[in-house]
Amino acid sequence: MGLTDLLFLALSAVAIVSGWRVFATDSMVRASFLLLLSFVAVGLIIVMLAAPYIGVATVFMMAVEMMVMALFMVMFMMNPAGLNPMMMVHQHRFSIAAGVLAFAGLTAAILFTSFPENSVDPSTPVVHDLGIELLGPSMLIFETAGVTLLATMIGSVILSSRSGRFGLADQGSKPPGLEPDGEPAGRQPEQGGGGHHHHH
Amino acid sequence: MTLATVLIVAAALIGIGLYGALSQQSFVMLMMGLELMLNGGLLAVIGLWANTMGGAPEGQLLAIIIMAVMAVDMAIGFALVTAVYRKRQADVTESLTTMKH
Residue, of A156 and A170, whose pLDDT is higher: A156
Query: What is the rounded CA–CA span in Å between residue A103 and residue B36?
Result: 13
pLDDT of residue B28: 85
Provide the percentage of residues in chain B whose pLDDT is more than 90: 55
pLDDT of residue A25: 86
Provide the percentage of residues in chain A whose pLDDT is more than 90: 50
- How close, in Å, is residue B98 to chain A by CA atoms? 16
Lowest mean pLDDT among A150-159, A176-185, B18-27: A176-185
Last residue of a domain, one of A14, A47, A80: A80
* pTM (two decimals): 0.83
Domain contains A192? no
Domain contains B95? no
Give the count of domains, chain A.
Answer: 2
Residue A194 has pLDDT above 70, yes or no: no
Domain contains A55? yes
Of A4, A134, A196, the CB nearest to B1: A4
Domain contains B18? yes
Domain contains A117? no
Concatenate the DSSP letters of all residues of A141-171 into one string: HHHHHHHHHHHHHHHHHHHHSPS-BTB-TTT
Domain contains A115? no
**pLDDT, average across residues A146-161:** 90
Give the count of domains, chain B.
Answer: 1
Domain contains A62? yes
- How close, in Å, is residue A110 to chain B by CA atoms? 6
Residue A192 has pLDDT above 60, yes or no: no
Residue B8 has pLDDT above 90, yes or no: yes
Instruction: Look up the CATH number of the domain holding residue B85.
Output: 1.10.287.3510
A8, A126, B70 from A68: Cα distances, Å: 29, 31, 13
The whole domain housing B85 covers 3-89
Domain contains B101? no
Domain contains B74? yes
Across chain A, mean pLDDT equals 84
Lowest mean pLDDT among A100-109, A153-162, A174-183: A174-183
pLDDT band at residue B35 under the 50/70/90 scheme: very high
CA Rg, chain B, in Å? 17
With contacts defined as CB-CB under 8 Å, which chain B residues touch A69? 28, 32, 74
Domain contains B100? no
How many interface pairs between A and B have CB atoms less than 8 angstroms apart?
Answer: 243
| pLDDT tens-digit map of A39-86 | 999 999 999 998 999 999 999 999 998 888 888 888 877 666 666 777
Please answer yes or no on whether A120 and B82 come within 8 Å at the CB atom.
Answer: no
Asked if A62 and A134 sit in the same domain, the reply is no
Query: What is the rounded CA–CA span in Å between residue A85 and residue A103?
Result: 28
Domain contains A51? yes
Of A89, A107, A130, the CB nearest to B23: A89
| pLDDT tens-digit map of B40-92 | 999 999 999 999 988 888 999 999 999 999 999 989 998 888 888 877 777 78
Residue, of B28 and A103, whose pLDDT is higher: A103
Domain contains A48? yes
Phi, psi (rounded to 5 degrees) for A74: -65, -40
| pLDDT tens-digit map of A2-46 | 899 999 999 999 999 999 999 988 888 888 999 999 999 999 999
The whole domain housing A156 covers 126-162
Domain contains A59? yes
pLDDT of residue A189: 55
Whether B81 contacts B30, CB under 8 Å: no
Query: What is the rounded CA–CA span in Å between residue A193 and residue A170?
Result: 9
